[in-house]
Amino acid sequence: MAAKSLTNRAWRLKRYPTGLPTVDDFEIFAAEPPAAALSAGEVLLRTAYISVDPYMRTRMKAGAGYLMDGFELGGKPIDGFCVAKVEQIAGAGASAGEGGLAVGDYVHGFLPWRELNVASAAAVSRIDGALGAADAAADGAAAATADPISPSAYLGVLGLTGLSAYFPALEIGQPQPGETAFVSAAAGAVGSIAGQVFKQMGCEVYGSAGTAEKLAALRDELGFDGALNYKVGAAELDAQLGALCPKGIDVYFDNVGGVMLDTVLKHMNTNGRIICCGAISQYSNADDEAAYGVKNLFMVVAKQLTMRGFLLHRWQDRHAEGRAQLAQWLREGKLAHKETIVDGFDSVAEAMVSLLNGGNTGKLVVRVEQQQE
């Protein structure tokens, strides 16, 4: 085993970024080590994987955000979705009760970006062996990405990103066989799953991304029928979208807002559905005035479109159902689980910046746990 760090390191925000964040907007600091003794119901968790997600950019502002309040400056660690390993359970030698936790289990939950955390056992969820993940990782090594279901999958395809694609794609999108679906930020964590869900429903699926490598991944690895690079200017984007989807678009899974949304509006078919998942193109604007103005909203009237936003907790009572379906597709080889893994706790800020710069394909995860040599 590589040496474990002696301090309990953590990441916090140093200042609110203007525009795209840089690594200098974050800082690593030595947090208090956990107390020697746990209270009843508590577990000691060692962070194994950290998820960096686009919505987090909306918390890098003072005050109340749309999902949660802004991160503190120079104070508490940033928090987000993580996978951790149970290192200790309250009550020496406690053995897990039914459905309880055992030392060595992987759990997923919303945790501070800190190497060690003490949490209530009730606040985290055991990664379910029935879905294959616990088995694959039983020896404590990080599951190879070749394995369809690794613990990190609980931050991606089987986590909130996968479910953020699955439920709205089906429930808002109402995709019908033979329809045309379009996904923006299609090579991203949510987009890559959304496109594949549409494909499972029998749609023709197209997407946009920002690099040649991502476009190739969409076509060759993720089963998209075609893809375009959105970095071409509005007029050319319009022309290319028309050429890519000559029958028009019935379902649009919008992760980006802005120019892309405005352009897609012109290509929507009558009774089309637009799933408003995010607006990553707008998150890093310096202020509200810098927001892009969408001009083609009259298409919502003229084409009788439905645009609907969602937050994931809308389908909270169905998460298990969604995870089970996605896991089944994974095992059947119908769903590619594309991950970009960045190693090391030190790399978290860099990963966050890279994400918002569009540097990754699939789910971007920071692997914190030590690899066996």
Of the pair 166, 329, the CB lying nearest a second copy is at 166
Cβ distance 368 to 47 under 8 Å? yes
Of the pair 11, 253, the CB lying nearest a second copy is at 253
Q: How far lies 281's CA from each of 19, 58, 216, 278, in Å?
A: 11, 12, 22, 9
User: What is the nearest approach in angstroms of a second copy to the Cβ of residue 233?
Assistant: 15
Cα–Cα distance, 347 to 339 (Å, whole number): 16
User: What is the nearest approach in angstroms of a second copy to the Cβ of residue 167?
Assistant: 12
Q: Give the closest residue to 152 by CA, choosing from 165, 138, 137, 169.
A: 137
User: What is the nearest approach in angstroms of a second copy to the Cβ of residue 339?
Assistant: 25
Of the pair 105, 262, the CB lying nearest a second copy is at 262
Tokens of 265: 């509006």
Of the pair 98, 288, the CB lying nearest a second copy is at 288
List residues binding a second copy (CB under 8 A): 66-67, 257, 261-262, 276-279, 282, 288-289, 291-311, 314
User: What is the nearest approach in angstroms of a second copy to the Cβ of residue 247?
Assistant: 18
Within 52-181, residue ranges assigned H as helices are: 133-136, 160-171
CA 322 to chain centre: 15
User: What is the nearest approach in angstroms of a second copy to the Cβ of residue 27?
Assistant: 28
Residue 138: CB partners within 8 Å, gap ≥ 6?
A: none
Of the pair 30, 302, the CB lying nearest a second copy is at 302
Of the pair 98, 289, the CB lying nearest a second copy is at 289
Tokens of 310: 């969602």
Of the pair 92, 301, the CB lying nearest a second copy is at 301
What burial letters (b/e) apply to 239-260, b meaning 16+ CB within 10 Å?
ebbeebbeebbbbbbbbbbbbb
Of the pair 63, 298, the CB lying nearest a second copy is at 298
Cα–Cα distance, 272 to 172 (Å, whole number): 10
Q: Give the closest residue to 262 by CA, choosing from 270, 271, 254.
A: 254
Q: How far lies 47's CA from each of 10, 154, 257, 366, in Å?
A: 11, 13, 33, 10
Q: DSSP for 342-361? A: EE-GGGHHHHHHHHHTT--S
User: What is the nearest approach in angstroms of a second copy to the Cβ of residue 297?
Assistant: 6
User: What is the nearest approach in angstroms of a second copy to the Cβ of residue 365?
Assistant: 23
User: What is the nearest approach in angstroms of a second copy to the Cβ of residue 290?
Assistant: 9
Q: Give the closest residue to 293 by CA, choosing from 234, 206, 366.
A: 234
User: What is the nearest approach in angstroms of a second copy to the Cβ of residue 280?
Assistant: 10
Of the pair 262, 369, the CB lying nearest a second copy is at 262
Cα–Cα distance, 94 to 82 (Å, whole number): 24
Whole-angstrom Cα Rg for the chain: 21
